[in-house]
Structure 1
Amino acid sequence: MIAQEQIPTVLDHPVYDPEGKKIGDAKHVFVDDATGRPEWVTVKTGMFGTSESFVPIKDASLVDGHLEVPYPKDRVKDAPHVDVDGGGHLDASEEQRLYEYYGIKWDEAWQQANQPGEGGWAHGTAGAAGTAGAAGMADRDRGGLAGEDMGMEATGRATGDDAMTRSEEEMHVGTERVETGHVRLRKYVVTEEVQQTVPVRHEEVRLEREPITDANRGEALSGPEISEAEHEVTLHEERPVVETRAVPKERVRLRTDEVTDEETVTGQVRKERIDVETDETGMTRDRDADEGRGM
């Protein structure tokens, strides 16, 4: 159990699950309206801490400057979304829904809050102690604890003047670098048929006859008058010969180019509004409207 005086130590500090995984940072502590006992802590989760998840603080503990809760990270992140009104107040139905999600029986939680050993506390709805809360106390106008008597603002800050501080949430969008895939070069061999025309030559036999003349008479009468003879001619031809050689053709490499696109990110931010109530006319005016929403 986190004591009331430990709330400033919890706020804006990391929150871890039982396995040592960081869930997020503690944003608000909600305390019981009637007792001031810490009941819930909200943890900023999601990308850039854009969401807040409620976690029971009853069985949480402070370890080495951070808060440990007995619930897995995924269970906390998937907790029901609860809209807290402008006063930072958690009503009974919302609190019951959260108890059921975390497997805590509403009746048992109510009985424990009313045990005499716990100081006779009566279980009521929970109000928030903001990040700047002194001792984590919230405004008790809605719950019964008089914050005005303690000289505190609605946010719990000690103050000596009569001014209110109006705050707004601003959305800050950043980028993170993530892997989207892998591209690799792979070289492999394929076989293709290639046709090429090449001229080839061959020899053919042609029979020539010539008459006996004075020019060739001597060669014609050089042998016997009547005899048998044989003469042979060798024929030749050219045939295609295929030879392959590896020839470098090109160099191939992978390079990455950064391309900038624009994406529209939609989120929700909360803004505080200050109304001016007058006893003279009984009417309520929106100060933002009077001042052109310039606050």
Structure 2
Amino acid sequence: MIELVDIREWREHDVVDQDGKKIGTLESVYVDTATDDPAFATVTVGLPTRHRLVFVPLDGAQAGPGYVRVAFPKAAVKDAPSIDTDGVLPAEDEPAVFAHYQLPYAPGAGGERRLARR
């Protein structure tokens, strides 16, 4: 597990897939609200004039010199749910992010959000 203190230092560093192919640049980290552990990262992808942020799970991620390697192929990450570079993830869109990676989703006991940006 990557510690939140460490992963924050990797903002604006490359995010690569399991084969070392560059996906984009790490923009921010979303934590699981139940545990406060890093759960997802947003990665800046797209053309210079049309950037967007895609979500990728941090489970199984590894940090290296100048990059974070995620455990998912580039194609899967690029097809993941996205938001605008200045946008926020609406609570009602959280299940789609988890579903894209075939991960179980359950909101908090009181119906609260599962992810929070740090």
Same fold (TM over 0.5): yes
Root-mean-square deviation (CA), in Å?
Answer: 2.6
Give how far 1:34 is off: 4.3
Asked which structure has the greater CA Rg, the reply is 1
Q: 3-state SS of the aligned residue for 2:35? A: coil
Give how far 1:128 is off: 1.3
- Correspondence for 2:100: 101
Q: 3-state SS of the aligned residue for 1:30? A: strand
Give how far 1:104 is off: 1.4
- Correspondence for 2:12: 12
Q: 1:21 to 1:81 in 2, by over 3 A?
A: same
Correspondence for 2:117 among 106, 128, 136: 128
**Residue type of the partner of 2:114?**
T
Q: 3-state SS of the aligned residue for 1:10? A: coil
Q: 1:27 to 1:85 in 2, by over 3 A?
A: closer
**Residue type of the partner of 2:104?**
K
Give how far 1:7 is off: 2.4
Q: May I ask how many residue pairs the two structures share in their alignment?
A: 113
Q: Give the % identical residues.
A: 34
Give how far 1:99 is off: 1.0
- Correspondence for 1:245: none
**Residue type of the partner of 1:97?**
A
**Residue type of the partner of 1:79?**
A
Alignment of 1:25-104 (within 5 A): 25-48=25-48, 50-82=51-83, 88=88, 91=91, 93-104=92-103
**Residue type of the partner of 1:71?**
F
Alignment of 1:119-268 (within 5 A): 124-129=113-118
Instruction: Report the TM-score when normalising by structure 1.
Output: 0.34
**Residue type of the partner of 1:25?**
T
CA separation in 2, counterparts of 1:4 and 1:90?
22
Show structure 2 runs of 5+ residues with no match: none
Q: 3-state SS of the aligned residue for 2:82? A: coil
Give how far 1:30 is off: 1.0
Give how far 1:96 is off: 1.5
Give how far 1:84 is off: 9.2
Q: 3-state SS of the aligned residue for 1:53? A: strand
**Residue type of the partner of 1:31?**
V
Deviations 1:22-74 (A, max 9, x none): 00100011123343211110001011271111001122111223100111111
CA separation in 1, counterparts of 2:40 and 2:65?
20
Give how far 1:12 is off: 0.9
Q: 1:105 to 1:35 in 2, by over 3 A?
A: closer
Q: 3-state SS of the aligned residue for 1:106? A: coil
Deviations 1:137-166 (A, max 9, x none): xxxxxxxxxxxxxxxxxxxxxxxxxxxxxx
Between structures 1 and 2, the one with greater strand share: 2
Give how far 1:102 is off: 0.7
CA separation in 2, counterparts of 1:83 and 1:53?
9
Q: 1:83 to 1:51 in 2, by over 3 A?
A: closer
Which runs of 4 or more aligned residues in structure 1 lie more than 3 Å from their structure 2 counterparts after TM superposition? 82-86
